[in-house]
Amino acid sequence: MARESGTGIRRRAVITGLGVIAPGGNGRKAFWERITSGVSAIRGITLFDPAGLRSRIAGECDFDPEAHGLGPRDVRRMDRCVQLGVAAAREALEDSGLDLGSGAHNPERVAVSMGTAIGPATRMESEYVVLSDRAKLWVVDHTYVMPYSYESLIPSSLAVETARLAGAEGPVGLVSNGCTTGLDALGHAAALIEEGSADIVVAGSSDSPITPTAVAAFDVIRATSPNNDDPAHASRPFDLHRDGFVLAEGAATLIVEELEHARRRGAHIYCEISGYAARSNAFHMAALKNDGLDLAEAIRVALGRAGVAPEDLDYINAHGSSTPQNDRHETNALKAALGEHNACRTPVSSIKSVIGHPLGAIGSMEIAACALAIEEGAVPPTANLHTPDPDCDLDYVPLTAREQRTDTVLTVASGFGGFQCAMVLTR
Amino acid sequence: MSAARAVVTGIGVVAPNGLGAQAYWQATLSGRTGIRPIGRFDTDGFPLRLAGEIDGFTATDHLRQFRVMQTDRMTHLAVAATAMALSDAGLDPADDVPEYGFAVATASSIGGAEFGHRAIERLWSEGPRKIGAYQAIAWFYAATTGQIAILHGMKGPGSVHAAEQAGGLEAIAQARRALRDGARAAVTGGTEAPLDPGALVGQLPNGRLNLGADDPATAYAPFAATARGHVPGEGGAILVLETAEAARDRGTRVHGTLAGHAATFDPAQGLGRPPALRRAIQLALADAALSPADIDVVFADALATRADDRAEARALCEVFGPYGVPVTAPKSMTGRLYAGGAALDTATALLALRDQVIPPTVGVDRTAPDCPVDLVIGQPRAARLRHALVVARGYGGFNSALVVAGA
């Protein structure tokens, strides 16, 4: 997707830093160990009392804000999803070796591209409960409103706080495209690099939907798994007995940098963002057509922009949400885009089998997983895949991680609203 | 951003002082305000009593009943504006645009406020199973783009952008990128429906709203010494963009061209670095390959707090000189519309370019001495208009600037 700039020099976007806050382990190392172990991080909900719900399990982060450099004032100002995103950004900046406060980098050339599907849901709800006196008042009692209340009502706070951490003065934005959000935020970051609007982009996504309202909203439409008795096996993408996704929280923030800028400072380069495309199915807010043709179109365009042929792919990171319809839809999309032969010979796996589905956060977490797969020469497994669904007949890397040279990776996403996205990452 | 010829071929407006571009434009030129006592909830005991509220909008006039039930007012307004914009463009998405060639990029800042409020109220009063089946697809920020794509079969890139009041320009800039990347057409802009007590309450402590104001005529007085904050409003605008080539092929009328855009972010206070609004304007001009002298009117962000007005006036003076360019804020008749605000300003700029007239700012007798801008006050001003600049600032430090050229 790189293009000629006015000077004829092609600007390319590479990833030079990673930070992850995830169920089962915070930090990129713990995250990689967890998703390659195939050991589930799903448990009974502890963040609130889930009594009365059909699905009472989730992927929760064990997150101590103080351990991630957030003081009491930060915690008062930031919703949990903002805290997770900022903690991930702090790790990514450290990992990149960029010292943005040092004066070595022009802040006007530093951008931010963040994403969230539902934003500050936790704080929005806790504030509401107080101001409405537990839903007794429609016109809420304004005398109890907190000073930072507006920050907890608008999703752009995630981008604002990330920009302040990074000292960014270039373009700062936030996308909210449901469950494809993370891919879209990184796709936008690559576009900012390629068009010349920035040299460094702090990019990622965060969501923390383990709140009564968000959990209930998915529960009531039976989108989430009711496997409360066996949380560890509830998220089982591509398995015949899958019965819905498992809601989770998390964040990943990455440093996206212009290739020559990264080379000049001797930065460690994980991989290049070489192609990205977004399409819509224009079909239904929640349902998917079985044929997967719209996701297939996004995959074809992303591969074309990357100049990558289907047979060159070493690994595909699936959306693999563990809902009956998604996993079929996605399998068909991969076959339609890559051809039956290439789809069947390429390892495909879903890290949601281990950490669950943190909505908009997952896209950037999956890109982090892909960058680490390229780095480590291994691909994570699809945990809990014991009984293959006859309609899902690709190589899903069941149960155990696989060591293999991994140079060229495709990651895909699909979400409520009909959004379909694909991104290609290359060594 | 590299030069991309994105032209506007359709305008749809849902504003407190007019439904439809023509009604809105007539009201705006005649200085008729849409700011009025809030009717959407009982403001007894609530410190905010005025807002720009849309009168006479019936969702079922624009959406089928089942879809009205599945969506929030923000989406109702956007769907109505989209139909107006497509009709204005004379564009049939199914026949005139290739299958994956129609992009949708809208802005949102508050989300589906009333819908979410009702759902959360039911949950906390009646239990979690009473939340309602559509909360998962109605409240979230992406709902509007998804619904527009479904209603019109638009299968190009879809996206939603949040940067508070700057979000509308971010969405328009993204739609322009989509055209640059191969789309033939795009629906873009934004609407907001924030007149819900649960959504408004969060803004009460931030010092930006004119609390206690009772006179709609003077409640929102940007750049005046009497400025005491703004009033909120609902609504926005949706535009249809096409590549210049696609518009030419169809032989359709063009309202104007999106000539340049840029976004910046303000440094934290205490670092000794200058605010970044001026740089956003300069970068947008550079993107459009224009100089300040080419800009004939500025649609201001106009927060109407003294400090924010001074900061905006300073940025405009640094680029254009004191009283160097006509400036206006028709949002003084609608209130600030958040994600819908800058989209409506862009629509207004296009209408001004079409009719060669600058719409007025109301509620202001004269500008404050520390805001040396040539504010168009009270009456419209006829002028030769080639290019307009739209400026937007989003809460927390977002700056965005868009240059629009006449047809």
Tokens of B191: 């609407």
A110 and A203 fall within a common domain: yes
Cβ neighbours around A259 below 10 Å, total: 18
A138 and B121 within 8 Å at the Cβ level: the answer is yes
Give the residue from A207, A241, A264 where a domain finishes.
A264
Asked if A357 is an active-site residue, the reply is yes
Report angle CA B374, B377, B382 to the nearest 5 degrees: 80
Terminal alpha carbon distance of chain B = 21
Give, for A21, the enclosing helix (H) or strand (E): strand A13-22
Write the DSSP string, B251-273: T----EEEEEEEEEEPPPTTS-P
Q: Do A6 and B2 touch (CB under 8 A)?
A: yes
Which chain A residues contact residue B154 at CB under 8 A? 280, 282
Cβ distance of B120 and A135 shorter than 8 Å: yes
The residue in chain B having the minimum alpha-carbon distance to the alpha carbon of residue A133 is B124
Residue A42, CA distances (Å) to A234, A318, B11, B41 in order: 8, 19, 48, 42
| Separation between Cα atoms, residue B268 and residue B251, nearest integer Å | 49
Question: Who among A150, A191, A219 is closest to B202 (CB)?
Answer: A150
What are the two backbone dihedrals, phi and then psi, of residue A366, each rounded to the nearest 5 degrees?
-70, -35
User: Of A319, A329, A370, A421, which one is the catalytic site residue?
Assistant: A319
Cβ neighbours, 10 Å, residue A391: 13
State the maximum Cα–Cα separation within chain B, in Å, rounded to a whole number.
62
Q: How far is CA A54 from the centre of its chain?
A: 26
Chain A residue with the nearest C-alpha to that of B199: A153
**Cβ(B182)–Cβ(B103) below 8 Å:** no
Whether residues A103 and A199 share a domain: the answer is: yes
A67 and B CB contact within 8 Å? no
> What DSSP designation does B102 have?
E
> Residue A142: inside a domain, yes or no?
yes
Q: Does residue B400 carry a pLDDT above 70? A: yes
Residue A372 belongs to some domain of the structure = yes
Give domain status of residue A270, yes or no: no
Task: Give A-chain residues touching B46 at CB under 8 angstroms.
Answer: 139, 142
Cα separation, B245 vs B184, whole angstroms: 9
Q: What is the domain range of residue A216?
A: 3-264
Task: Specify the 3-state DSSP secondary structure of A350.
Answer: coil
Of residues B43, B45, B146, nearest to A418 (C-beta): B146
pLDDT tens digits along B64-86 = 999 999 999 999 999 999 999 99
* Termini Cα distance of chain A: 15
Give how many domains chain A has, as a whole number: 2
CA A224 from chain centre, in angstroms, equals: 18
Contacts of A98 (CB under 8 A, 6+ apart): A16, A17, A105, A200, A255, A265, A267
Domain-embedded: residue A194: yes
Taking CA atoms, B195 is separated from A300, B69, B237, B373, in Å, by 43, 18, 17, 31
CA–CA min distance A169, chain B (Å): 4
**Residue B143 near residue B339 (C-beta atoms within 8 A):** no
Which pLDDT score, from 0 to 100, does residue A1 have? 42
For residue B196, give the nearest of B17, B341, B338 by alpha carbon. B338
Burial of A403 (0-12, 13-18, 19+ CB in 10 A): exposed
Per DSSP, what are the bridge partners of residue B304? none
Nearest-neighbour CA in chain B from A75: distance (Å): 17
Query: Is the domain of A68 the same as that of A197?
Result: yes
Q: Write out chain B residues lying below 8 Å of A184, CB-based.
A: 159
Q: Which residue has the tokens 């949040």?
A: B162
Same domain, A213 and A299: no
Are A175 and B161 inside 8 Å of each other by CB?
yes
Domain assignment present for residue A269? The answer is no
| Domain co-membership, A191 together with A287 | no
d(CA B175, CA B237): 14
Per-residue pLDDT of chain A (427 residues), as tens digits, is: 444 444 567 899 999 999 999 999 999 999 999 999 999 999 999 999 999 999 999 999 999 999 999 999 999 999 999 999 999 999 999 999 998 877 789 999 999 999 999 999 999 999 999 999 999 999 999 999 998 899 888 999 999 999 999 999 999 999 999 999 999 999 999 999 999 999 999 999 999 999 999 999 999 999 999 999 999 999 999 999 999 999 999 999 999 999 999 999 999 999 999 999 999 999 998 899 999 999 999 999 999 999 999 999 999 999 999 999 999 999 999 999 999 999 999 999 999 999 999 999 999 999 999 999 999 999 999 999 999 999 999 999 999 999 999 999 999 999 999 999 999 999 9
Q: Which is nearest to B57 in space by CA: B116, B122, B12, B109?
A: B12
Per the annotation, the verdict on A241 as an active-site residue is: no
Interface check for A419 against chain B (CB to CB < 8 A): the answer is yes
Do A285 and A260 lie in one domain? The reply is no
Q: How far is CA A280 from CA A1, A70, A293, B74, B104, in A?
A: 19, 38, 10, 21, 9
pLDDT of residue A4: 43
Residue B4 confidence (pLDDT): 54
pTM of the model: 0.97
- Whether A196 and A89 share a structural domain: yes
Contacting residues of B for A218, CB less than 8 Å apart: 136
Residue A279 falls within a domain, yes or no?
A: yes
Q: Distance (Å) from the C-alpha of residue B142 to the closest C-alpha of chain A?
A: 5
Q: % helix / strand / coil in chain B, to the nearest 5?
A: 35, 25, 40
Q: Are residues A253 and A280 in the same domain?
A: no
Q: Which of A123, A280, A321, A414 to mutate to test the interface with B (most CBs of B within 10 A)?
A: A280
Q: Per DSSP, what are the bridge partners of residue B328? A: B299
Please give the residue of chain B at the shortest CA–CA distance from A147: B205
Query: Domain of A131: which CATH number?
Result: 3.40.47.10
B12 CA to centre of own chain = 12
Instruction: Give yes or no for A286 touching B (CB within 8 A).
Output: yes
Report the distance separating Cα B376 and Cα A319, nearest Å. Answer: 53
Helices (H), A167-286: 181-195, 212-220, 259-264
Mean pLDDT of B388-403: 98
The yes-or-no verdict on residue B176 having pLDDT over 70 is: yes
What is the pLDDT at residue B270? 84
Based on the fold, state whether residues A195 and A104 are members of the same structural domain. yes
State whether residue A30 sits within 8 Å of chain B by CB.
no
Cβ of residue A279 closer than 8 Å to a chain B Cβ: yes
Contacts of B140 in chain A (CB under 8 A): 117-118, 176, 178, 416-417
| Residue A332, domain member (yes or no) | yes
Residues A258 and A280 in one domain: no
Of B41, B110, B145, the CB nearest to A417: B145
Who among B155, B268, B395 is closest to A279 (CB)?
B155
Q: Rounded mean pLDDT of B30-56? A: 96
Please give the sequence-ordered ranges of beta strands (E in DSSP) within A383-427, or none if there are none. Answer: 402-403, 408-415, 419-426
CB pairs under 8 A between A and B: 266
Residue contact A220–B129, C-beta within 8 A: yes
ipTM of model: 0.97
A180: nearest Cα among A419, A346, A13, A369: A419
Mutate which of A78, A79, A177 to disrupt the B interface (most B C-beta within 10 Å)?
A177
How many C-beta atoms lie closer than 10 Å to residue B252's C-beta? 18
User: Do residue A343 and residue A393 come from a single domain?
Assistant: yes
Write down which residue in A233, A264, A295 finishes a domain: A264
For chain B, which domains are there?
6-250 (3.40.47.10), 260-406 (3.40.47.10)
- Calculate Rg over the CA atoms of chain A: 20
A26 and A74 both lie in a single domain: yes
Of A238, A264, A290, the position where a domain reaches its end is A264
* 84-113 of A, contacting B, C-beta below 8 A: 107-108, 112
Nearest CA in chain B to A168: B265
Of the candidates B316, B182, B338, the one whose C-alpha atom is nearest the C-alpha of residue B245 is B182
The amino acid at B114: E
Q: Which residue of A has its CA nearest to B137?
A: A285
> Is A319 designated active site?
yes
Chain B, nearest residue to A1 by Cα:
B181
**With 0-12 CB in 10 A as exposed, 13-18 as middle and 19+ as buried, what is B254?**
middle
CA distance B297 to B256: 15
